[in-house]
Amino acid sequence: MSVDRLIEAIEAKKNPTVLGLDPYPDHIPPEILDKHAAKHGQTLKTLQGAYKEYIFALIDALHDLVPAVKLQSACYESLGPGGVEVLRQGVLRARKKGLYVIVDAKRGDIGSTSKAYSSAYLGRVELGDTLIPVFDADGLTVNPYLGSDNLDPFLKDCKMYDKMIFVLCKTSNRSSSEVQELMAGDRPLYRVIAEQVSRAGRQLAGKYGYLNTAIVAGATQPSAIRQLRKDHPELFFLVPGYGAQGGKAEDIAAAFDKQGRGAVVNNSRGICCAWQKDDSVPFTEAARKAAIGMRGDLQKAIR
Tens of pLDDT, residue by residue over 133-189, are 999 999 999 999 888 889 999 999 999 999 999 999 998 888 888 888 888 888 999
Q: Which residues pair with 165 in a beta bridge?
A: 140, 213
**Mean pLDDT across the stretch 39-54?**
97
- 57, exposed or middle or buried, with CB in 10 Å at 0-12, 13-18, 19+? middle
What's the rounded Cα separation, in Å, for the pair 123 and 119? 4
How high is the pLDDT of residue 57? 98
**Mean pLDDT across the stretch 58-81?**
98
How high is the pLDDT of residue 276? 94
How high is the pLDDT of residue 161? 96
pLDDT at 286 over 80: yes
Banded pLDDT at 203 (limits 50, 70, 90): confident
pLDDT above 90 coverage of the chain, percent: 81
Contact 134, 125 (CB under 8 A): yes
| Selected catalytic residue, list 35, 106, 156, 248 | 106
How high is the pLDDT of residue 293? 95
pLDDT at 45 over 80: yes
DSSP secondary structure code for residue 65 in this structure: T
**Mean pLDDT across the stretch 271-298?**
94
pLDDT at 243 over 80: no
Contact 166, 214 (CB under 8 A): yes
Banded pLDDT at 41 (limits 50, 70, 90): very high
pLDDT at 13 over 80: yes
- 226, exposed or middle or buried, with CB in 10 Å at 0-12, 13-18, 19+? middle
DSSP secondary structure letters along 100-168: EEEEEEEE--SHHHHHHHHHHHTS-EEETTEEE-SS--SEEEE--TT-HHHHHHHHHHHHHHT-EEEEE
How high is the pLDDT of residue 199? 93
Active-site residue flag, 106: yes
pLDDT at 245 over 80: no
Banded pLDDT at 18 (limits 50, 70, 90): very high
Amino acid at 75: C
**Mean pLDDT across the stretch 68-79?**
98
